[in-house]
Amino acid sequence: MNINALKIPSISELSQDDLDALLAMEHRAYAVPWTRGNLNESLQNGHIGMACRLEGELVGYAFLMCVLDEMHLLNLTIDPGFQGRGWGRLLLEAVKDRARALGCTQLLLEVRHGNTRALALYRNSGFKPIGVSQQYYPSFHGREDAIVMRSFL
């Protein structure tokens, strides 16, 4: 195997300059994506935005919100064309590192009940289900439940 063929993404901060790429990725990744307004609001209102970049190209991102000693993972997305390479795990570990650095003791998230790939990632990363938010997510067929999960840091 050619060692140069192994490319590892870097983690950096999101900025307003990433807005178009974020919106495009949301539309590739989700049937009901965040809107430009949702993304812009997160960038402008103090949420932590983390980018996963491969040779400068945005291939994933996460939005976080710190509340007291809890970090809330609002969105973690890897572009569908780049999934299955361990980069979601890499970004999630960077999220946990950031939460610890800010003094948080736990990381909370909601995940669609039907998102088996994300559920597996979170379970394999130490998250445990702690509840269900019924009818939390919009879908084309009404609403979908969310599994609430927590990981102690």
Asked whether residue 136 carries a pLDDT value surpassing 70, the answer given is yes
- Annotated active-site residue 70? The verdict is no
Q: Which of 26, 61, 122, 137 is catalytic?
A: 122
Domains and CATH numbers, the chain: 10-152 (3.40.630.30)
Q: Which of 61, 110, 137, 144 is catalytic?
A: 110
Q: Name the pTM for this structure.
A: 0.92
Report how far residue 117's alpha carbon sits from residue 81's, in angstroms, rounded to the nearest whole number: 14
Nearest Cα neighbor of 64 from 36, 95, 37 is: 95
Write the pLDDT tens digit of every residue in 32-71: 899 999 999 999 998 999 999 999 999 999 999 999 999 9
- Annotated active-site residue 110? The verdict is yes
Nearest Cα neighbor of 9 from 73, 120, 89 is: 89
Position 93 scores a pLDDT of 98
